Structure 1
Amino acid sequence: MPFHIKAMRVAPRVVVVGDPGRARLLSSMLIRPELVSENRGLLVYNGTWRGLEITVATHGMGGPGAAIVFEELIQAGARAIVRLGTTGGISKEVSIGDFVVPTAAHYIHGGLFRQYFGDLTVSAAPCLSLAWRLYTKGLQRGLRVHAGPVVSSDAFYAEDRSVAEKWAGVGALTVEMECAALFSIAMLRRVKAAALLLVNGHLLEPDKRMVSEEELLERIKLGGEIVFDSLTSVKV
């Protein structure tokens, strides 16, 4: 059994979220959800969606901590992992309330990436077939969905307009904290990974945020349906 995720097994298809409240919300959408681990506040639920097993797990905030969860989920049986989370816009192409499917996750080399890969700078990219399913299913629901690179940052409060403009200048759409870790570890461990991100703020317009918690939760539930449908349509 892993050190931190105290679950004997998880489903091959896993949705990961940062917020335990979102884990509870998404698990309530499953058939017969069962809480199988709550060690360290990292909630893990097993259930089913359209007849297939699905796990919903909490990864917390930031790449290094999330990397531990991703590794242990894989040890417990995960073979396809999708991160469903929020992200801050840094490109004028995206607006609050839009969804983003990352095609890559930029990062600053160092820290956990140096410990995993040494001097190699690994391209952190998702599984194309899984990302494509997320993108097309979002469009089929009539949503504004963008596909493009995001930035995975380690320092939430170090982000400012100058940082946003620099990354946007090389094509990044939004900034978040965990996708680079997820994509890199998934490639290393030979499992599938992708992400669906909800834009709930914008670094170029800091006064604009998705202030309604009810609206945010409704968009997360909608994103959850897209993620569940995408995971259950992919072979693992």
Structure 2
Amino acid sequence: MATPHIAAEKGDFAPAVLMPGDPRRAERIANLLMPDARKVSDVRGIGAYTGTVDGKPLSVMASGMGMPSIGIYANELFGQYDVRRIIRVGTAGGLAHKVKVGDVVVALGAHTDSAMNTSRIPGIHFSAVASYPLVAAAVAAAGDATNVHVAPVVSRDHFYGNPAEQIQALADYGTLAVEMEASALYAIAAQYDREALAVLTISDHLLDHSRDMSAQEREENFERALGLAVAAAHC
């Protein structure tokens, strides 16, 4: 039963879906994790793959960039394909000195400057938070690693032109990273009574751009975050 944006049939997706932003990263993850992966959808160049990891079913699908894009796919996966949990495996910009390029942030919650969640419950400022069992599984998989952080992030509508004083204030309030999808994903998971998590590799830093990853490095350097995401997918 295809949707406007996914050409798969009912049952083609596993209960858990890993969701990077980049279609090339989705294909790379599928090939890395699942020798038995089969492509179940390819609408608009957004490949979706299903296979098994250690005998457990898993799917991988790209989300594209931004909350409207991940919102489309999350709604269709939760609402039409009976997906139970989505784990975003993406990149983020560091906001605070305590995180460095290459570190991983498990996003406990996601502030946002987007209006996407403001109309969900009139009169309420909706809190977009991760699902605790997925957070706990990712943290357990991280063990004693000092380069894995559990903290809020901020999901932005705009990649460019965000006020410097706002960035500093977010860091002062314990926000470690900035990205563009988690807040919408968490809200949609709550709407469907499903689970969601974002596990993010710091690919650049707003306080020091001298060590930013290249486009190729952003595509390839996700192994640590991927291991945590798989642990959350199969907890």
The answer for the alignment partner of 1:168 in structure 2 is: 171
CA drift at 1:118: 3.9
Query: Where do 1:169-184 residues align within 5 Å?
Result: 169-184=172-187
Give TM-score scaled by structure 1 length.
0.91
1:31 to 2:23 alignment: no
The answer for the alignment partner of 2:86 in structure 1 is: 81
Q: Show structure 1 runs of 5+ residues with no match.
A: none
Query: Where do 1:138-177 residues align within 5 Å?
Result: 138-139=142-143, 142=145, 144-159=147-162, 161-177=164-180
Q: Show structure 2 runs of 5+ residues with no match.
A: none
Over aligned residue pairs, what C-alpha RMSD do you find? 1.8
Q: Any conservation in 2 of the 1:161–1:204 contact (CA below 8 Å)?
A: no
Instruction: Give 1:227's aligned amino acid.
Output: A
Query: Where do 1:186-205 residues align within 5 Å?
Result: 186-205=189-208
**In structure 1, distance between residues paired with 2:38 and 2:60:** 10
Which segment drifts farther, 169-178 or 218-227?
218-227
**In structure 2, distance between residues paired with 1:44 and 1:143:** 33
Question: Could you give the per-residue CA deviations for residues 185-223 of structure 1, whole angstroms, max 9, x where no partner exists?
Answer: 101110011111000111111333023835x45531332
**In structure 1, distance between residues paired with 2:4 and 2:214:** 37
Post-superposition, which runs of at least 4 consecutive aligned residues in structure 1 deviate over 4 A? none
Instruction: Give 1:14's aligned amino acid.
Output: V
The answer for the alignment partner of 1:220 in structure 2 is: 222
Q: Secondary structure at the match of 2:140?
A: helix
**Residues 128 and 228 (structure 1), Cα distance of their counterparts in 2 relative to 1, 3 Å cut:** same
Instruction: Give 1:83's aligned amino acid.
Output: R
**In structure 2, distance between residues paired with 1:207 and 1:63:** 28
**Residues 143 and 22 (structure 1), Cα distance of their counterparts in 2 relative to 1, 3 Å cut:** farther
Q: Secondary structure at the match of 2:201?
A: strand
Q: Any conservation in 1 of the 2:120–2:126 contact (CA below 8 Å)?
A: no
Instruction: Give 1:4's aligned amino acid.
Output: H
The equivalent position to 1:207 in structure 2, one of 206, 210, 233, is 210
Q: Any conservation in 2 of the 1:200–1:210 contact (CA below 8 Å)?
A: yes
The answer for the alignment partner of 1:69 in structure 2 is: 73
The equivalent position to 1:90 in structure 2, one of 89, 95, 117, is 95
The answer for the alignment partner of 1:134 in structure 2 is: 138
CA drift at 1:62: 0.3
Q: Any conservation in 1 of the 2:99–2:176 contact (CA below 8 Å)?
A: yes
**In structure 1, distance between residues paired with 2:108 and 2:59:** 24
Query: How many residues are aligned here?
Result: 230
Instruction: Give 1:18's aligned amino acid.
Output: G
Query: Where do 1:114-129 residues align within 5 Å?
Result: 114-129=118-133
Question: Could you give the per-residue CA deviations for residues 38-64 of structure 1, whole angstroms, max 9, x where no partner exists?
Answer: 101221111111111101011100001
Q: Any conservation in 2 of the 1:13–1:231 contact (CA below 8 Å)?
A: yes
